[in-house]
Amino acid sequence: MYLATLNVSHFRNIALADLALSPGINLLVGENGAGKTALLEAIHLLARGRSFRTPQTRQLIRHGEKELLVRGEVASSAMSHKLARSKSSTGVNEARIDGQSVNRQSRYAELLPLQTLLPGIGDLVLDGPAIRREFVDWGLFHVEQSYLATAQRFRKALTQRAAWLKESPTEDFSMDPWVATLAAAGAEISSWRHRFVVALNAQVQQTLVRMRADFSCDLRYHGSGFSEEEALEQLAASFERDKRYATTHVGPHRADVDIRVDGISARAVVSRGQAKLIASAIALGYSAELAARSGAKPVVLLDDFGAELDESHRERFFAELRSLGCQVIATTTDQPEHLVGLSSLDTTRVFHVEHGSVTQNS
């Protein structure tokens, strides 16, 4: 499945743009402020109903206009579907598939799954654990039907326990009314996450080999009990501390995915360019894992990917994207050959973006 056409009107600085996209690699080339990221944002809006830059849709509507419209045709050898979204300045949103109003977001995600690699992708390696937990959870929401319900059950018990710890803590751990739910749901979450990270790690290893990376990288989920008994033991050990601070200190909400490079914690040693490369390999491994489970390859959106990476790493990364067989839509301010390499130029579709207008290289 790939995005065959994209029609954008009144979106940011773009008055009107029509693109016939390649199922392979597409480059949006232009100067700063030309409208390249805006085009990726329009694709994101089509697939997910929102921008990746702002939660305020009104900012997306071109100044002086009343409504934006994004349309796209997704195609595979077996079928094609027309997706459309419009947003008006008065707050009216419309979403259509093949002309029919469809509000179920999951249908858009099925028809146009996306993997976005934005300039801040390196934060996945460099930031605190929350971003990595979220990343793993996002994958699990897609592949495990009951994950969301379990995660919600856990969250609710966590909140209720915090209120209880504040007001009426008992001296006796066995009288704590929330630990049974926390241990059961927590152990389920932990073992799902653990299995997902094991599978993801295998995909990342393969990706790094294909990218001929000059370092090894290992991902491991750690930090909470994998069985109910283990989770209960941890909660019991933390009971006094939990009462003192009226919060639960142990469990999957505090866990992390440990990323090690050549055996050392990545956060402590990698450069910004390496962090970007590692995070991108993880994101590609993640796409490969989701594709293996759901059968759908995502469309990969790369914003300003070349920045911070040297030429040989950029080229190898694009070679890997090519071998994954995903459609790629990437922005660059640079010459196209500097991003994808001369040998790939023939098979890359290049669009020039200038002051909100788009033309295709002939």
List of residues contacting ligand ATP (CB under 6 A): 12-13, 30, 32-38, 59, 61-63, 304, 331, 333
Nearer to Mg ion, 46 or 217 (CB): 46
Helix, strand, coil percentages (3-state) for the chain, rounded to 5, are 50, 25, 30
Nearer to ligand ATP, 30 or 72 (CB): 30
Q: How far is the CB of 334 from Mg ion (least distance, A)?
A: 12
Q: How far is the CB of 44 from ligand ATP (least distance, A)?
A: 12
Nearer to ligand ATP, 282 or 358 (CB): 358
Nearer to ligand ATP, 8 or 324 (CB): 8
Residue 249's alpha-carbon distances to 136, 162, 240, 262, 290, in angstroms, are 20, 11, 10, 30, 31
62 binds, among Mg ion, ligand ATP, none (CB under 5 to 8 A by kind): ligand ATP
Q: How far is the CB of 360 from Mg ion (least distance, A)?
A: 19
256 binds, among ligand ATP, Mg ion, none (CB under 5 to 8 A by kind): none
Q: Which are the contacts of 67, defined by CB distance < 8 A and separation ≥ 6?
A: 10, 61, 86, 87, 88, 89
Nearer to Mg ion, 52 or 135 (CB): 52
Q: How far is the CB of 219 from ligand ATP (least distance, A)?
A: 30
- If one asks whether residue 115 binds Mg ion (CB under 5 A), the answer comes out as no
Provide the greatest CA pair distance for the chain: 76
DSSP 8-class letter at 212 = T
Nearer to ligand ATP, 35 or 139 (CB): 35
Cα–Cα distance, 191 to 196 (Å, whole number): 8
Q: How far is the CB of 9 from ligand ATP (least distance, A)?
A: 12
Nearer to Mg ion, 37 or 327 (CB): 37
Three-class secondary structure of residue 93 per DSSP? strand
Cα–Cα distance, 225 to 170 (Å, whole number): 24
Q: How far is the CB of 120 from ligand ATP (least distance, A)?
A: 13
- Contact between 354 and 13 under an 8 Å Cβ cutoff? The reply is no
Position among 26, 37, 57, 327 found at the interface with Mg ion (CB under 5 A): 37
Q: Please give the order of strands across the beta sheet that includes 114-117.
A: 114-117, 299-302, 328-332, 25-29, 348-354, 357-360
- Contact between 315 and 7 under an 8 Å Cβ cutoff? The reply is no
Three-class secondary structure of residue 180 per DSSP? helix
Q: How far is the CB of 146 from Mg ion (least distance, A)?
A: 39
13 binds, among ligand ATP, Mg ion, none (CB under 5 to 8 A by kind): ligand ATP
Q: Which stretch binds Mg ion (CB under 5 A): 32-40, 112-120, 211-219, 337-345?
A: 32-40
Q: How far is the CB of 71 from ligand ATP (least distance, A)?
A: 19
Q: What are phi and psi of 179, to 5 degrees?
A: -65, -30
Nearer to ligand ATP, 238 or 360 (CB): 360
Nearer to ligand ATP, 32 or 362 (CB): 32
Cα–Cα distance, 251 to 223 (Å, whole number): 7
- For the CA atoms of the chain, what is the radius of gyration? 23
Cα–Cα distance, 230 to 226 (Å, whole number): 7
- Contact between 282 and 200 under an 8 Å Cβ cutoff? The reply is yes
Residue nearest to Mg ion (CB): 37
Q: How far is the CB of 123 from Mg ion (least distance, A)?
A: 17
181 binds, among ligand ATP, Mg ion, none (CB under 5 to 8 A by kind): none
End-to-end CA distance of the chain: 25
Cα–Cα distance, 157 to 199 (Å, whole number): 29
38 binds, among Mg ion, ligand ATP, none (CB under 5 to 8 A by kind): ligand ATP
83 binds, among Mg ion, ligand ATP, none (CB under 5 to 8 A by kind): none
Q: Which residues bind Mg ion (CB under 5 A)?
A: 37
